[in-house]
Structure 1
Amino acid sequence: MYDPNLYITLAAASLGAIGMVTFAGLTGWRGWLALKHQELQAGGDIGPIQALPNASARIEIADLKERIRKLEAIAAGVDL
């Protein structure tokens, strides 16, 4: 029941699994950062709101502000 080899084996396997998960996560993170760096260097898409014309952007922002106001009123329990 108290075999020290079992505990050493479990600890080593756990440490190895944590190391592999960490390595995979860091590799993915570096890949994502490289992708974003390439997008910035290429002058890629900056986003849907900034790509809209000025008047359309103002209308969209006003619409979003109105929705937020309504949601805040609902959350506060005020009837509109």
Structure 2
Amino acid sequence: MQDPVFYLVMAGACLTGTISVALIALKGWTGWLDLKKAEIGQQGADTSPPSAAARIEVADLKERIRKLEAIAAGVEL
């Protein structure tokens, strides 16, 4: 049978490791939240509508997607 001190030392080491991992994860989580807050703040500053060229390009891409989906479904256009 081993010493009770051994078990106390092992329990302390496990507790210290668990606390360290939890603190590192918490620091990473708060950093990620700060990053997302900054991204949201930047999106609010850019309130200009998209240009006409960008809207035309998006419409063209949507049309291409619609055609590809029709081909995949076997529908003739």
Measured against the shorter chain, the TM-score band is: 0.5 to 0.7
| CA displacement at 1:42 relative to structure 2 | 1.2
TM-aligned CA deviation for residue 35 of structure 1: 0.4
Q: CA RMSD in A?
A: 3.3
Which residue number in structure 2 is paired with residue 49 of structure 1?
A: none
Report how many aligned residue pairs link the two structures.
66
What do residues 40-72 of structure 1 show as CA deviations (whole Å, max 9, x unaligned)?
11117xxxxxxxx667667767888x87xx7xx
Secondary structure in structure 1 of the residue aligned to 2:2: coil
Structure 1 residues 56 and 8, CA gap change in structure 2 (3 angstroms): same
CA deviation string 1:12-55 (max 9, x = no partner)? 000000000000000000000000001111117xxxxxxxx667
Identity over aligned pairs, percent: 31
Structure 1 spans left out of the alignment, 5+ residues: 45-52, 71-80
- What TM-score do the two structures reach when normalised by structure 2? 0.58
1: CA distance between counterparts of 2:24 and 2:60? Answer: 44
Cα 1:5–1:61, aligned 2, differ >3 Å: closer, same or farther? farther
So what's the TM-score if we normalise by structure 1? Answer: 0.56
Give distance in 2, aligned partners of 1:40 and 1:58.
Answer: 26
Unpaired runs of 5+ in structure 2? 45-53, 73-77
1:21 aligns with 2:17: no
Higher gyration radius (CA): 2
* Aligned-residue offset at 1:2: 2.9
